[in-house]
Structure formats: structure tokens, C-alpha cells
Amino acid sequence: MKEIITVIKEQFEHMGMIFRMSRYEDKADYQSHYLGLAWQILNPAIQVGIYYLVFGIGFRQGQDVGKVPFIVWLLIGITAWFYINKSILGASNSIYKQIGLVSKMKFPVSILPSVNIVSNLSSYFPMIIIVIVTALSFGIMPTIYWLQYIYYFVCMITFLFAFGLLNATITVLIRDYHIFLQSIIRLLFYISGAIVNVENRNLPEIAVKILKLNPLYYIIDGFRDTFLSREWFFEKATYTLIFWGVVLALLILGSHLHMKFRAKFVDYI
């Protein structure tokens, strides 16, 4: 528990540094592009269009998901997925990528996954605005359920930090892990409910329940519960407890490994 407190304390003590570094990272990634930061919106928007054409028009022939237009259902899930996917892979490589900085100065290494997670918010929030505008254009009005967006956003950030800290540490120790993680993320894309409604795939009930144990499914489905005004998070108490149990386990393991090996990161690389 002491290791968790130390890691979390570092995040709050260096919050200003996290935001400054995230802004620098945004500019550095797109400084050589003519459209610059606009690509943070254009790239996911183009991908959404492709997925809609393939899965919405192609496979589903424009059919709704229940009473919800497929484009709205898709946008809610895919927006969360783009952010989660980019943050998981970016956070996992964050320490290795900045090892030069780590080796030259006394530096709170545990904030590097947070820097990447915060940096990706610059493309996530504009996409959320697009989600809201699209939902409103199809007659989906805000309700009191929309207030729980804050809860699921906290769930997402907390999970990404816990998982990111663990992945970043393992990536330094075992470089092949990052490539392995990329393959796992591709699989999770199809079983986390981002573009496929697992409840309508004629799967056995036990299989659906197992898929719902996935923390990413909990987050993505939670955002749909929010914007589509379906149910409160406390109405699925079992899955909520499982989700936070997984997050706590990841945070304990990630904090322990990070504190144990971070003094030797440079030696491992």
C-alpha cells in the first residue's frame, strides 16, 4: 500500500509538470505536418467513417441497434476505444521512449504514463463533442443519466493509469512485451463492444457474461448507458465491483514492480 501511495502522491505533486509535458508532446508529434494538431481530429474521424461504411452500411445495411441509430451507437463506443487504445500503447512505451531524460536528471518516472494519457485528451474531448452533436441531431436529448459521464471518465483514467504504469515497467524489463501488447489490443478491439454488440451475436449466455468482465467493455458500455440513458452504474453492482477489483490489482502490481525496478531502468535498457 505504501508503494501505491508514493506513486499516486507523485502524480498530484507533479500535476503541473504532467500538463506542461503533455502540451509539448502534442506539438512535437505534429510539428512537421501541414495540418498540425488538426490530425488529432481528422485521423479518428476518417477511421469512424470507414468503420461505419464497413459495419454500418455493409454488414448491418443501416439497421439500428435496438432503437438507437447505428452511427450514434458506434460513435460512443469507438470514441472511447480510440482514446483507450492510444493511451494504453503510448503509456506502455512512455518510460522507454523518455529514457534519455530519465538518465540525465532526477525525475519522477511514474508520471510519464500520465503525461501520455493527458496528452491524448486533446483529441478525445473534441471527439466527445462530435458524439454529443450527433446524438442531438438524431433526437437523443440529455437526461439526468448524462451526469454519470464523470464517473465513467474517472473509471477510464484510473484504469489507464494503473494498466499504463504496469505496462510501462514491463516494457522496460522485457522489450518484446510492447509488441505482444499490440497484438492483444487488436483482439480486445473486437471483444470489448467498441464496434460489435456482443449481446446480439447469438453467443451463449455464459460467454456474454465472461466478455462483460472485461474492464474495457465495462467502460465502453458505461458510456453508452450514459449517453443513451439506459441505466445507472450502481444497477450493475457486480460488474462495478469486479472492475474496481481489477483496477486495484493492476495498481498494486504496477506500483510494486515500478518502485522495485525504476532505479535500474537505465541499466536494463
Per-residue pLDDT band for 50 (boundaries 50, 70, 90) equals: low
CA distance linking residue 98 with residue 112, whole number of Å: 8
Phi, psi of 265 (to 5 degrees): -55, -45
Provide, rounded to the nearest whole percent, the portion of the chain with pLDDT above 90. 26
Number of domains in the chain: 1
Query: Terminus-to-terminus CA distance in the chain, angstroms?
Result: 28
109-153 confidence digits (pLDDT tens): 888 899 899 988 888 888 888 888 888 888 888 999 999 999 999
pLDDT for the residue 48 = 67
Domain encompassing residue 118: 2-268
Residue 11 pLDDT > 70, yes or no? yes
| Amino acid sitting at position 24 | Y
Note the pTM of the prediction, 2 decimals.
0.87
* Residue whose C-alpha cell reads 485521423 in the numeric block: 43
123 or 61, greater pLDDT: 123
CA distance linking residue 197 with residue 211, whole number of Å: 11
- The overall longest dimension of the chain from CA atoms, in Å, is 58
Please state at what angle helix 215-227 crosses helix 149-173, rounded to 10 degrees: 160
36 or 92, greater pLDDT: 92
Per-residue pLDDT band for 210 (boundaries 50, 70, 90) equals: confident
Find all residues with CB under 8 Å of 25, minimum gap 6, and list them.
Answer: 115, 116, 119
